[in-house]
């Protein structure tokens, strides 16, 4: 009984150890070393890379990443709430409507990002259509800016907001809203003062699930933001490619990882249930 | 009011992909409609680099999915019997680890090991990386199914003289099959689509489809990408729908 269970756990434990824990430990060692003359890592061991993370230049990038992830999360709440509410009230069609949210999400992140490039670029569909109609004469600069990045992130992670929101809204007792109405609340009041507070756990779970991937996003800022929008993900990637500063790159990676773990820990502790 | 808002958000989710599909059959190279043509599909099927990259992607996804399905199912079964907090926690953590961090830490690992073993980056490193991130998805889907499964069935088999292993193979596994296939389809789509981690640990001879698409997308508009994208969305979409069906059954 016990032996079989251990045997079943062994492969996963081995892979987690070899391909998850050990690599992070290697990053930890790298983060305490010095950059070699031609890149790579060398002794002596130093704490300098960790201090460099706190440099105003990099703190600015971290701050901007928080801002972009925060705005994206907020827009996801604004768009996700009505959608989740609609699905939770759609009766027998629930599963169909949920699948319609998830379907684009699972079918290729890269393609979905490319689709927005196709729409937004100077010679993209929106600009060429507007020019053909004579509305504008010069193409609008829609791509390669912060708003394009935020649009891509919202588009990419909206389902992460809809799913947890839907599951809290589904459990919400409709008689509470009726009671509020009976007691004289206008629909907007019932919404703001009854429904919103009761769906807070769903919003919180969704916010964490959207915020975390947005914070570490690499592909979206790279493709939709061009070279002009540096976020934490881009910063890490640059350290390992262009700058060849592995120790510093490792330090930022681990700092990001620690941040993610902190956010997750707060969420798990509040909800009191495991993620899996 | 609410259905209207929902319709608008659904349009936001689906229109960009729909537009891409429509323009994949546009005969013009530019973004103005000039008439129906399948030329971009023909161009895609004649592009040797694209075909090789697709073959690589299919091979990687198939091997990684098979391995993750077996390993993840075993793990889910063990976790169902009794929770193993460290493993559960590590699986959840690996699920939320930013892709860029996962990719870079794996690259560091491979470079470090290979310094001693004299091995190079290639398909095998990509497959290993994909197995590691696919396992979590398999465990989630299979474990969810096991939680609705009656433990007494397995116990009955053992009472009737089956060994633990026999009970697992002949009683639990057949019942789990739809969930395992559903999980495998999900893992396949994730593996087939991954760019960030793959590009970190791929060798020079192991370019995958997302890597080629990324390179073209960065260079500029290319209607061939519209054609490939449409095929990808349709194929992965079909797999996801099949996966959902199996999960519910």
CATH number where A114 lies: 1.10.3720.10
Does some domain include residue A40? Answer: no
Does some domain include residue A110? Answer: yes
The parent domain of residue A215 ranges over 69-229
Burial of residue A162, with CB atoms counted within 10 A of its CB: 0-12 exposed, 13-18 middle, 19 or more buried:
buried
> Tens-of-pLDDT digits for all 276 residues of chain A?
578 888 899 999 999 999 999 999 999 998 888 887 666 677 777 777 888 888 888 999 999 999 999 999 999 999 999 999 999 988 888 888 998 999 888 888 999 999 999 899 888 888 888 888 888 888 888 888 999 999 999 999 999 999 999 999 988 887 887 888 888 888 778 777 888 888 888 999 899 999 999 999 999 999 999 877 889 999 999 998 888 888 999 999 999 999 999 988 887 777 655 554
Does some domain include residue A123? Answer: yes
- CB contacts, 8 Å: A216 with chain B: 98-101
- Cβ separation of A212 and B96 shorter than 8 Å? yes
Q: Output the pLDDT for position B30.
A: 77
Cross-chain CB nearest to B16 (options A22, A116, A215):
A116
What is the tally of structural domains in chain A? 1
Output the average pLDDT for chain B. 90
Does some domain include residue A53? Answer: no
Q: Output the pLDDT for position A275.
A: 53
b/e sequence A128-153, b meaning 16+ C-beta within 10 Å: beebeeeeeeebeebbbbbebbbbbb
Q: Which of residues 87-146 of A touch B (CB under 8 A)?
A: 87, 89, 95, 99-104, 106-119, 121, 123-125, 128-129, 132
- Residue A34: beta bridge partners? A42
ipTM given for this complex:
0.89
Does some domain include residue A187? Answer: yes
Q: Which of residues 230-269 of A touch B (CB under 8 A)?
A: 233, 236-237, 240, 246, 249-250, 253, 256-257, 260-261, 264
Does some domain include residue A31? Answer: no
Distance from CA of A13 to the nearest CA of B (A): 7
Peptide bond before A44: cis, by omega within 30 degrees of 0? yes
Does some domain include residue A34? Answer: no
Does some domain include residue A269? Answer: no
- Cβ separation of A85 and B75 shorter than 8 Å? no
Q: What is the pTM of this model?
A: 0.91
Residue carrying the six token digits 């089956």: B162
Q: Output the pLDDT for position A189.
A: 80
Per-residue pLDDT at B138 exceeds 60: yes
**pLDDT tens figures, B222-233:** 888 899 999 999
Query: What is the number of alpha carbons within 13 Å of residue A183 lying toward its C-beta?
Result: 10
Tokens of A107: 């079918």
More confident residue, A244 or B192: B192
């Amino acid at each position: 009984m016990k032996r079989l269970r251990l045997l079943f756990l062994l492969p996963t434990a081995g892979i987690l150890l070899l391909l998850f824990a050990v690599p992070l430990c290697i990053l930890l060692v790298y983060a305490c070393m010095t950059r070699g003359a031609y890149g790579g890592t060398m002794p002596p061991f130093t704490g300098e890379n960790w201090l460099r993370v706190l440099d105003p230049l990099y703190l600015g990038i971290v701050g901007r990443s928080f801002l972009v992830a925060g705005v994206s999360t907020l827009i996801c709440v604004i768009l996700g709430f009505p959608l989740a509410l609609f699905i939770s009230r759609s009766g027998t069609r629930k599963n169909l409507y949920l699948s319609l949210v998830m379907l684009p999400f699972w079918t290729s992140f890269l393609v979905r990002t490319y689709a927005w490039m196709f729409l937004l670029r100077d010679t993209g569909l929106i600009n060429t259509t507007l020019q053909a109609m004579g509305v504008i004469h010069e193409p609008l600069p829609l791509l390669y800016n912060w708003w394009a990045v935020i649009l891509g992130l919202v588009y990419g992670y909206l389902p992460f907001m809809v799913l947890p929101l839907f599951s809290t809204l589904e459990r919400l007792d409709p008689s509470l809203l009726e009671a509020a109405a009976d007691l004289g609340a206008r629909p907007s009041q019932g919404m703001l003062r009854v429904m919103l507070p009761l769906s807070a756990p769903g919003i919180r779970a969704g916010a964490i699930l959207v915020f975390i991937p947005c914070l570490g996003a690499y592909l979206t800022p790279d493709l939709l933001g061009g070279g002009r929008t540096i976020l934490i993900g881009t910063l890490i990637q640059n350290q390992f490619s262009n700058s060849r500063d592995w120790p510093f790159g490792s330090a930022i990676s681990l700092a990001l990882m620690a941040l993610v773990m902190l956010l997750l820990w707060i969420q798990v502790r509040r909800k009191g249930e495991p993620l899996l | 009011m609410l259905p209207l808002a929902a319709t608008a958000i659904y349009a936001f989710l689906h229109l960009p992909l729909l537009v891409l599909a429509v323009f994949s059959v546009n005969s013009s190279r530019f973004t103005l409609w000039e008439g129906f043509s399948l030329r971009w599909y023909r161009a895609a099927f004649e592009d040797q680099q694209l075909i090789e990259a697709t073959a690589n992607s299919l091979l990687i996804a198939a091997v990684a999915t098979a391995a993750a399905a077996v390993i993840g199912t075993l793990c889910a079964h063990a976790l169902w019997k009794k929770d193993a907090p460290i493993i559960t926690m590590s699986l959840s953590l690996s699920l939320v680890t930013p892709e860029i961090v996962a990719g870079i830490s794996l690259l560091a690992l491979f470079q470090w090991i290979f310094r001693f073993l004299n091995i190079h980056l290639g398909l095998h490193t990509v497959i290993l990386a994909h197995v590691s991130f696919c396992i979590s998805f398999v465990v989630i889907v299979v474990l969810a199914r096991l939680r609705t499964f009656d433990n007494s069935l397995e116990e009955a088999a053992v009472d009737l003289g089956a060994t633990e292993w026999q009970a697992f193979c002949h009683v639990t596994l057949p019942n789990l099959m739809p969930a395992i296939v559903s999980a495998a389809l999900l893992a396949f789509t994730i593996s087939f689509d991954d760019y960030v981690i793959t590009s970190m640990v791929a060798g020079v001879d192991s370019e995958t489809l997302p890597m080629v698409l990324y390179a073209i997308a960065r260079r500029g508009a290319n209607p061939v990408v519209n054609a490939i994208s449409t095929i990808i969305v349709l194929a992965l979409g079909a797999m996801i729908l099949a996966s959902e069906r199996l999960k519910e059954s």
